[in-house]
Amino acid sequence: MKRPLHIPASAFALAGVALLLTACGGGGGGGGGIGFGGLPIGGGGGGDTGRGSVVSGPPAQTANLTASQFNASLQASDQGKALLQVAGAPKCGIDLRYLEYRTIGGKNEATNATAAIMVPTGSDAACSGARPVVLYAHGTTPARNYNLAKWTDTTQPAAGEGLLVAAMFAAQGYIVVAPNYAGYDKSTLPYHPYLNGDQQGKDMVDALTAARKTFGDIGATDAGSLFITGYSQGGYVAMAAHREMQATGKTVTAAAPLSAPSAISLLTDYTFQGWPALGATLFVPLLSTSWQQQFGNVYNATTDVYENQYASGIDTLLPSNTPIATLFQTGKLPQLALFPADAVPGPLNPQLSVFYGANNLIRQSYLTQAASDIQSNPCAGNALPTTAASVGTATPLDCKPTTGFRRAAVANDLRNWVPAKPVLMCGGANDPTVNFASTRATAGYFRAKGMPAAALTVVDLEDSGANDAYSAARAGFAQAKSLLAQNTPGSATDKATAVTQAYHGTLAPPFCLASARGFFQGVLAAGG
């Protein structure tokens, strides 16, 4: 397989600093100042009412930009200019469509969900005729109204992530299918099956199946090459989709799960052992709600896990139509305090003490139960700190936890299959939100199971000593961190804090997505 295309380091110098993504890879405000009205939804979807069927079609157009219009809108803001430096000038216009499709929930119940379809348009050779398809999975978001088909609306929570994906893929000639997932937007599912690997993989496949049924109506021609990618939660979902498609005999050309919590049982074990994630007070309720719906045995009552001040209603709190800042301000969730100030086990290091404090979310009694379970029933692939044996084991999930939460985490851990097609994994070793140990452990498992070295690429954005096709991305990431620190007033601690807070949701995504695109281009060039 040929090496991916190189992008000069200078192209990355400012990119990522101003992208308005949330701390967990979802969207923030800011879409480059583009706004267009939607068109009415078309006729009914006929007699097809099963998984992957179209609820109403053809998909409504929510925006239609020429390449020059998109370029001008990006040039009009510092955010847009930064994105242009990493993504490149748009070659194609974008016909943005809104799809509603049928899928399932976490208990195999029938439901609906929605997705964006981005179709490249224009006279450039990269924009017409048969085009490769990117199936994109979005990052964690608390916003129930998240809708990637409306990223041109700067007030839409998906604006930042949608803009990034549009510039990186659709404007460069890829047809993009980007599900909003069951439980979001106009989905009637009253919860989101967060990191439920089986459901999330099927949801992605259903969105793609439905989208392909509409391609003929919206001027999209599928070239037959399918690339799957996503960031943060989306990295997990992308891998789950790849697993689902491989298991059911569907064609995948290559995949790039980025900053993926694929080794989710490792991450949850680390949380209980003193290494919580930045964002854990959001992630844990999403997980407990999802896995309780999936298995029914995470808890008998929410008070088993959560302190009384949060327990009532926490199982229906997320995703929410109330902004996350308001949920923090009104005491529905603590912003940082996952565990009590005097918790046992406590933080692994002083920097992690911010996750331990007053008005904490999780009870000490539950922490004691989980930590004891880890000691009594350790999983071979979840050692803390990691060892060569734990990262290189072919049986990382050979364990029998007793707590429902840990059992669910093991069941949804993606270290239980081996990709047959090329995979790139990307992230940063110092990511405070999705610990890079997840990527290392997943890649180590794949290697232990015999995945060829040439088929698996791991990019650590912090590995400045590496000299390969991704060196420019690493250099640009380093420059972006440095620039953010320089532009942050205050002490060295203030500067470091700014970088930590921006690391996962703002600094890393453009560089990992650019790496993914280069990887996909290399696969195509090699005949994939």
Q: How far, CA to CA in Å, does 261 sit from each of 181, 195, 297, 491?
A: 17, 9, 22, 32
Burial (CB count <10 Å: 0-12, 13-18, 19+), residue 427: buried
Its pTM stands at: 0.92
Mean pLDDT along residues 24-46: 31
Q: What is the pLDDT of residue 220?
A: 98
Amino acid at 225: S
Dist. CA 71–CA 453, nearest whole Å = 39
Q: Which residue has the higher pLDDT, 14 or 280?
A: 280
Q: How confident is the model at residue 48 (pLDDT cuts 50, 70, 90)?
A: confident
Dist. CA 107–CA 175, nearest whole Å = 31
3-class SS string, 247-263 = HCCCCCCEEEEECCCCC
Report whether pLDDT(386) > 80: yes
Contact 112/188 with Cβ under 8 angstroms? yes
The percentage of residues in the chain with a pLDDT greater than 90, rounded to a whole number, is 89
CATH class of 9-18+41-263+414-525: alpha beta
Contact 132/223 with Cβ under 8 angstroms? yes
Dump pLDDT digits (tens) for 172-217.
999 999 999 999 999 999 999 999 999 999 999 999 999 999 999 9
Q: Tell me how far apart the terminal alpha carbons of the chain are, to the nearest angstrom.
A: 9
Mean pLDDT along residues 338-363: 98
Contact 243/417 with Cβ under 8 angstroms? yes
Dump pLDDT digits (tens) for 92-140.
999 999 999 999 999 999 999 999 999 999 999 999 999 999 999 999 9
Q: Where are the domains of the chain?
A: 9-18+41-263+414-525, 265-412
Which alpha helices (DSSP H) does 215-333 contain, by range?
A: 233-247, 264-272, 280-295, 308-311, 324-329
3-state secondary structure of 315: helix
331: how many CB neighbours lie within 10 A of its CB?
A: 10
Token pair listed for 498: 């700014």
Angle value at C-alpha 102, between 285 and 206, nearest 5 degrees: 85
Q: What is the pLDDT of residue 47?
A: 67
